[in-house]
Chain A
Amino acid sequence: MNLIQKARMKSPWILHFNAGSCNGCDIEILSCLTPVYDIERFGAVNVGNPKHADVLLVTGPVNRRNERVLRNLYDQMLDPKIVVAVGTCASSGGVFQNCYNCMGGVDKVIPVDVYVPGCAAKPETIIEGLILGLEKLAKMPSKPKKGAQPAEART
């Protein structure tokens, strides 16, 4: 593990995107940032800019209109990056099975590294999901191999 990788483990910056969620998981993600759960003890900071972020937290089943936005955000993030699907509906579509405008899960649009269950996912579970994601991030090379194509959204 080189210095950059080590530093990345200690300060994973988070980008949060709501892809059609009911808000339940989103307020739990915000709860993670506040003093009781305090995700900042792992160095995680919520940022608004995809170019700064290492971890993409996505909630919601993804609908027809924000599919494009989600793909766009994912493509703007620099490698290495991980995607955490927070909540049951982000993982599989969940309760929104009969809804015509839903894609039924984040993995229908972009590759997902960690699935966090729960409706709404509890802050403890979200933090656990993030830590699992970081373990995966630690194994990723900090520079892409020569000639390798950058990871792209699934088409």
Chain B
Amino acid sequence: MSVLGEVSGIARIEDAPLESLLDALRAYRQRQARFITASCLDRGDRFEILYLFDEDLRTVAVRTLLPKGAKLPSATGVYLCAFLVENELQDLFGIEVEGLHIDYSGKFLVTDTFDAPPLLKQTACELQLPKENPS
């Protein structure tokens, strides 16, 4: 599967392999870029994750490719505010994040009534009734 090419509105996308992801993020931290959020795309056998930063009203991004099943190193050691979005990645994409400071272990937004993480491409998500009724 391909990755995103030019994205209108993002000034620069820098590719960082998984091993040096945290170093790349640290470089932004040192330049005092404001962390915006991370965004994840399901690309078949891997995830494409973009970390977005603000530099004087311009958006710049760091991209990493994560094979499915691999663990993602947590960015909370660099930017604490990443804990919200990383918990969301755990919930909605089923990505295991390693070293997360505040970990809701997959129960941040959704309750555990889904068979598969809802934002994955193969997950059919119609209005499905909960597996068992709590009452």
Judged by CB atoms under 8 Å, the answer to whether A and B touch is yes
Q: Is the CB of B134 within 8 A of A98?
A: no
A93 within 8 A of B: yes
- Tell me, in angstroms, the Cα distance from A65 to B125 when the chains sit together: 17
Interface residue SS majority, chain B: loop
A58 within 8 A of B: no
Q: Is the CB of A64 within 8 A of B110?
A: yes
Within 8 A of A (CB), among B39-57: none
B79 within 8 A of A: no
Give the chain B neighbours of A67 by CB distance below 8 A: 134
B19 within 8 A of A: no
Give the chain B neighbours of A103 by CB distance below 8 A: 127
B30 within 8 A of A: no
Q: Is the CB of A100 within 8 A of B111?
A: no
Q: Is the CB of A101 within 8 A of B110?
A: yes
- How close is A80's CB to chain B, nearest CB, in angstroms? 22
Report if A98-B135 is in contact (Cβ < 8 Å); known contacts: A64-B110, A64-B113: no
Within 8 A of A (CB), among B112-135: 113-114, 118, 125-128, 130, 133-135
A104 within 8 A of B: yes
- Tell me, in angstroms, the Cα distance from A98 to B128 when the chains sit together: 10
Q: Is the CB of B127 within 8 A of A65?
A: no
- How close is A60's CB to chain B, nearest CB, in angstroms? 15
Q: Is the CB of B135 within 8 A of A71?
A: yes
Closest residue of chain B to A100, judged by CB?
B125
Q: A72-94 interface mask toward B, CB cutoff 8 Å, 1 = contact, 0 = none?
A: 00000000000000000000010
Give the chain A neighbours of B111 by CB distance below 8 A: 64-65
- Tell me, in angstroms, the Cα distance from A103 to B127 when the chains sit together: 7
Q: A54-75 interface mask toward B, CB cutoff 8 Å, 1 = contact, 0 = none?
A: 0000000000110110010000
- Tell me, in angstroms, the Cα distance from A93 to B126 when the chains sit together: 13
- Tell me, in angstroms, the Cα distance from A68 to B134 when the chains sit together: 8
- How close is A18's CB to chain B, nearest CB, in angstroms? 16
A2 within 8 A of B: no
Q: Is the CB of B127 within 8 A of A104?
A: yes
A153 within 8 A of B: yes
